[in-house]
Amino acid sequence: MNIVFVEPSFPANQRRFALALAGVGANVIGIGETDEWALDEELRSALMGYYKVSSVTNLREMTDATRWAQGRCWVDRLEATVEAHTMTAAEVREACGIPGTSVQATWLCRDKPSMKEALRAAGVPTAASTAADHADQIWDFAAAEGYPLILKPRAGAGAQDTVRVDNDTELAHAITVLAATGATSIAVEEFVEGHEGFYDTIAKDNAVVHDWTTHYYPNVLEAMRTRWISPQFVTTNRQADSPFYAEVAELGQRVIEALDIGTSATHMEWFHGPKGLRFSEIGARPPGVGCWDLYSAANDVDVYREWAHVITHGVPERSMTRPFSAGLVALRPDHDGHITGYTGLDDLWARHGQWILDAHFPHEGHFTQPVEAGFMANAYVRARHPDYDSLRGILDDIGRTVKVHAR
């Protein structure tokens, strides 16, 4: 199978997708913004061809590059695994007659108000929402639905620039701040009370062939706004043992079918609270923050290779046996500035060393990143354990024990 892969070298983990495709027997042609000579030797060796463009979101350039590839061989697939690249990739597929997730499905996975409107029509439980191009529309929605509300850029990814507002004063401020970011259209939705998590899959023709369920502790907005919290996300190995996880999987399957995502990795966020299980949003791409590394460690399986095997051969290579739960705890500096040192590291390794997968501790003098920059922005530790509750306890203890000092 001949597969065009978008941007095989940046961000750094993109090379793992390209190498996995080549590793399962695909002929891989890369299109990217990096000079070919700057690709590392292993990656260059894995590609049967490479075409440089100035931007992988430029439709004309990407179409020309893909037609160049089609001039060399029959192109079976065109794959993009970064959220910002998916719409251009879908448009190129349709222009060049290549199978894959459609422009319509990709639009629904990128535009949150349209996504939720489509899913409500399909009977999927989701929050009330609207798209607002003018402040008056936001105020009208607030008057109709009441507070709290969530506001975010309409095509935003993750929790970036997402705000919760609880009254008119906070709403007025949020509108001003979002306008200053350059956002021209805002997704507005009711705040859903409850615990937050995500459900990730690899799907073939709208059917889930691999899946993983992961929990946030605490919910993302609180985690990204509160310095003293050492937030976690933990993927469970109890999926087969709980009716709740079966309900999450059923919701994920319904969403994939309703949006007609097709053959793709997916990342779906969910809430569970007083109103039951509620859909939050979905992307037709893999999750970020190194989740597939955790899923690989939790199953002793290379998830990148599994994705490549499904894309290339239409079936998984291995099953997920789930011998471990796996998770990450983020460790925040006590101030913004420069790292001055750490305390608690000896205790960390003495108490939990056998369960730690890896750890990242920026060197002294390194600039800190803002709390809202994400789970892997500063220091973090990743671990696994056969028992989910024991892993939670380990990650809690690491968050209490290890301190990141800055000034």
Q: Which domains can be identified in the chain, with CATH numbers?
A: 2-100 (3.40.50.20), 128-190 (3.30.1490.20), 192-323 (3.30.470.20), 324-407 (3.30.470.20)
Peptide bond into 8 cis (omega under 30): no
What residue type is 345 in one-letter code? Answer: L
Residue with tokens 């350039």: 61
CB 328 within 8 A of CB 222: no
Measured CA to CA, the distance from residue 164 to residue 160 in angstroms comes to 12
Length of the chain: 407
Residue 406, SS3? strand
- Work out the burial of residue 136: count CB atoms within 10 Å of its CB; fewer than 13 is exposed, 13-18 middle, 19 or more buried: exposed
Sequential pLDDT tens for the chain (407 residues)? 999 999 999 999 999 999 999 999 999 999 999 999 999 999 999 999 999 999 999 999 999 999 999 999 999 999 999 999 999 999 999 999 999 999 999 999 999 889 999 999 999 999 899 999 999 999 999 999 999 999 988 866 656 678 999 999 999 999 999 888 877 889 999 999 999 999 999 999 999 999 999 999 999 988 988 899 999 999 999 999 899 999 999 999 999 999 999 999 999 999 999 989 999 999 999 999 999 999 999 999 999 999 999 999 999 999 999 999 999 999 999 999 999 999 999 999 999 999 999 999 999 999 999 988 999 999 999 999 999 999 999 999 999 999 999 99
pLDDT for residue 159:
63
CB 4 within 8 A of CB 81: no
pTM attached to this predicted model: 0.94
CB 192 within 8 A of CB 163: no
Q: What is the C-alpha radius of gyration for the chain, rounded to an integer number of angstroms?
A: 22
For CA atoms 200, 206, 207, 210, give the dihedral sign. Answer: negative
CB 109 within 8 A of CB 90: no
Residue with tokens 């500035």: 337
CB neighbour burial string for 350-384, b if at least 16 within 10 angstroms, e if fewer: eebeebbbebebbeeeeebeebbebbebbbbbbbb
Strands of the sheet with 186-190, listed across from one edge: 129-132, 186-190, 149-153, 163-165
Measured CA to CA, the distance from residue 286 to residue 17 in angstroms comes to 10
pLDDT for residue 225:
82
Q: According to DSSP H, which parts of 206-270 are helical?
A: 220-223, 243-259
Q: Which of 159, 263, 111 is nearest to 201 (CA)?
A: 263
**Which residues, listed in sequence order, are joined to residue 367 by a DSSP beta bridge?**
338
**Which residues, listed in sequence order, are joined to residue 343 by a DSSP beta bridge?**
403
